[in-house]
Amino acid sequence: MSEAVYPVPEEWARTALVDEARYAEMYRRSVEDSDAFWREEAARLDWIKPFTTVQETSFDEADFGIRWFGDGTLNLAANALDRHLAERGDTVAIIWEPDSPDEPARRITYRELHADVCRFANLLKARGVRKGDRVTIYLPMVPEAAVAMLACARIGAIHSVVFGGFSPDSLASRIEDCDSTVVLTADEGLRGGKAVPLKANVDVALAKLPSVHTVVVLKRTGGAVTMQDGRDIDWHQDVSAQSDDCTAEEMGAEDPLFILYTSGSTGKPKGVLHTTGGYGLWASMTHRYVFDYRPGQIYWCTADVGWVTGHSYIVYGPLMNGATTLMFEGVPNYPDPSRFWQVIDKHQVEIFYTAPTALRALMREGDDYVTRTSRKSLRLLGSVGEPINPEAWEWYHRVVGERRCPIVDTWWQTETGATLISPLPGATPLKPGSASKPMFGVKPMLVTSEGVPIEGAGEGCLVITDSWPGQMRTVWGDHERFFQTYFSTFKGLYFTGDGCRRDEDGYYWITGRIDDVINVSGHRMGTAEIESALVAHAKVAEAAVVGMPHAIKGQGIYAFVTTNADVHPDDALRKELVQWVRQEIGPIATPDVIQFAPGLPKTRSGKIMRRILRKIGENDVGNLGDTSTLADPGVVDHLLENRPGG
């Protein structure tokens, strides 16, 4: 652990929306007088019908339920667009920086974005999309992705964005799970100069899904696509015929806004459901306080809209705050590792928010790629998605931010909607590697694995004791799974799945997942998903997957594979399996290590002892703990002797 503490820069303490004293006072009110606090904060949204009830929530099984502002109505697309038109219609809402620096950037004003969203909303309506219908979005990082999301929100359709890196199979299961009948895609995506065949992937996914009646295809690269008559329509051609007048649907605060699939420790990815009022408030409020956002500032979050960070901090949060949000199509090292910093100079970015994995990869390339750029416009830096190691934090602070920019290390999850634990730049002295203090209204707690609360400094499982407005409301189609996954491990508490340490100053230090979820380059993967992809291969009898430390990705994927008896495991099969997993799930699930094992360590009742596999994955084999309950302890020796490089 780093011992360094960086005080709040004097200028930030003086000018920020929230300074240290104000944070303490606001936090106190948010938990002691929470209804009044939320009534005031909720005024940052435009409500059609004001709410009278604030919080109606319980984490207990008997009366389990989560409702916020339940009788209010509003529309989030109107909150993100219409209400800015009078004052800042000509302000740039989205700056789009394409994959290649040689292609011109696009700048879209609030007025233009409003018209685009209305036209696209009318197109969706013309194809029969109604309030409550599910629309799957499988688009590259182009402004049309934001247009599509907001058009859904405008007419009350529920969007489900699927990351463009997912395979046809992964896409198909997500379309099927929520019964989407409309898919929005592009001919191809572009990342690092390489084309991603999005429409072709959609075609494969839809081969078995005849219920999808409409595919809207955006032209991005002009690559050849096959259009299916009656089903597939051309985005630009069809949208240009639509009117730019579209009334925003009056939505209940608890009406669904979107579904976003995320991996858990068991089974298929879960459709995390967020609703309108609470999510809208949480995304806009946290964006405003955490980034100390003031209208006019250029703000850049490098996430993909396929992940929750893109939803809350590229689209909804910034646009509700009238921000200028930069959307980048490409990757950090294309054409070279200077790209991020060049884009910052080109568009005069003031607030920059990225993931530790990108920082670690860029740090390795040497400081010169950074220092050859100016970065004078930068005022504030952010980190998200995984624990940031102090070395990467220090590099970010010293080299990228030239010691003048605070770093907000924001801890949160798909399930939490937006940030729950983070420094505020004008209020919180920074400790490299610590997400520091809870956001307003958030009550974190540490418990032992038996559920005993830990007071003061200590380490344990991170739980949240009470609801916050941006909390997910259910797992799509499986409310029981929602309760079981998050509220049954520790009764009456929301279990995050993360381990955490709290220091003497009350700072929270997230140590990483303590369940069977791994975090690869900030992307969340369920080990069970990769295992089921592996065993779906004809030559594989059994597989167990664990995380392993990885210098750039944070965690890598370590797979133990038992082949069928008649198969000779060799390097060729290893390559074949890696390719297989990429094809089944997508490149983000590429195994880093495949170790063939004639047997896996199992208890006499047949349960795989994952603890031992995790230790092997971590190369921490000095003390494997008690192995006496194993059916065949010899299996472990074999695994140790045959570790790749072991």
Residue 628 is labelled as binding a ligand: no
Our finding on whether 440 is near ligand PRX (CB under 6 A) is no
Question: Which is nearer to ligand PRX, 98 or 423 (by Cβ)?
Answer: 423
Give yes or no for a contact between 163 and 189, defined as CB atoms under 8 angstroms apart: no
Question: Which is nearer to ligand PRX, 150 or 500 (by Cβ)?
Answer: 500
Supply the minimum distance, in Å, between the C-beta of residue 422 and ligand PRX: 8
Site string for ligand PRX, 513-532 (x = CB under 6 A): x-----x----x--------
> In the set 314, 510, 540, 636, which binds ligand PRX (CB under 6 A)?
510
Our finding on whether 435 is near ligand PRX (CB under 6 A) is yes
Supply the minimum distance, in Å, between the C-beta of residue 499 and ligand PRX: 9
Question: Which is nearer to ligand PRX, 382 or 601 (by Cβ)?
Answer: 382
> And the tokens for 495?
């279990």
Supply the minimum distance, in Å, between the C-beta of residue 500 and ligand PRX: 9
Any idea what DSSP says for residue 183?
A: E
Give yes or no for a contact between 214 and 182, defined as CB atoms under 8 angstroms apart: yes
Residue 521 is labelled as binding a ligand: yes
> In the set 72, 271, 387, 417, which binds ligand PRX (CB under 6 A)?
387
Question: Which burial class, exposed, middle or buried, applies to 631 when counting CB atoms under 10 A from its CB (0-12, 13-18, 19+)?
Answer: middle
Question: Which is nearer to ligand PRX, 4 or 43 (by Cβ)?
Answer: 4
If DSSP states are collapsed to H, E and C, what string results for 539-602?
Answer: CEEEEEEEEEEECCCEEEEEEEEEECCCCCCCHHHHHHHHHHHHHHCCHHHCCCEEEECCCCCE
Would you tell me how many other CB atoms lie within 10 Å of the CB of residue 550? Answer: 18
Mark the segment that binds ligand PRX (CB under 6 A) among 133-141, 406-414, 471-479, 587-595: 406-414
Residue 84: how many CA atoms within 13 Å on its side-chain side?
A: 28
Residue 194 is labelled as binding a ligand: yes
Question: Which is nearer to ligand PRX, 91 or 590 (by Cβ)?
Answer: 590
Residue 604 is labelled as binding a ligand: no
Q: How far is residue 296's CA from residue 314's CA, in Å, rounded to a whole number?
A: 15
Give yes or no for a contact between 93 and 324, defined as CB atoms under 8 angstroms apart: yes
Question: Which is nearer to ligand PRX, 136 or 354 (by Cβ)?
Answer: 354
Relative to beta strand 380-384, strand 407-410 is parallel
Give the CA distances from residue 413 to residues 59, 298, 309, 416, in Å, rounded to whole numbers and listed in that order: 18, 25, 9, 5
Our finding on whether 589 is near ligand PRX (CB under 6 A) is no
Question: Which is nearer to ligand PRX, 96 or 307 (by Cβ)?
Answer: 307
Q: Find the helix packing angle between 610-617 and 634-641, rounded to 10°.
A: 20
The per-residue DSSP string of 428-484 comes to: --B-TT--BSBPTT--EEEE-TT--EE-SSEEEEEEE-S--TT---EETT-HHHHHH
Residue 540 is labelled as binding a ligand: yes
Residue 523 is labelled as binding a ligand: no
Our finding on whether 262 is near ligand PRX (CB under 6 A) is yes
Our finding on whether 94 is near ligand PRX (CB under 6 A) is no
Residue 34: how many CA atoms within 13 Å on its side-chain side?
A: 17
> And the tokens for 322?
């009238």
What b-and-e string marks burial along 394-421, b requiring 16 or more CB atoms within 10 Å of the CB? bbbbebbbeeebbbbbbbbbbbbbbbbb
Our finding on whether 501 is near ligand PRX (CB under 6 A) is no
Mark the segment that binds ligand PRX (CB under 6 A) among 80-88, 509-517, 550-558, 603-611: 509-517
Supply the minimum distance, in Å, between the C-beta of residue 117 and ligand PRX: 25
Residue 368 is labelled as binding a ligand: no
Residue 519 is labelled as binding a ligand: no
Relative to beta strand 214-218, strand 182-186 is parallel
> In the set 185, 410, 436, 555, which binds ligand PRX (CB under 6 A)?
410
Q: How far is residue 487's CA from residue 474's CA, in Å, rounded to a whole number?
A: 12
Our finding on whether 411 is near ligand PRX (CB under 6 A) is yes
Residue 96 is labelled as binding a ligand: no
Question: Which is nearer to ligand PRX, 41 or 515 (by Cβ)?
Answer: 515
Identify residues 294-313 at the interface with ligand PRX (CB under 6 A): 308-309
Question: Which is nearer to ligand PRX, 69 or 508 (by Cβ)?
Answer: 508
Binding-site residues: 191-194, 309, 333, 385-387, 409-414, 498, 513, 521, 524, 535, 537, 540, 582
Binding-site residues for ATP: 385-387, 409-414, 498, 513, 524
Site for ligand PRX, rule CB under 6 A: 262, 308-309, 384-387, 409-414, 435, 496-498, 510, 512-513, 519, 524
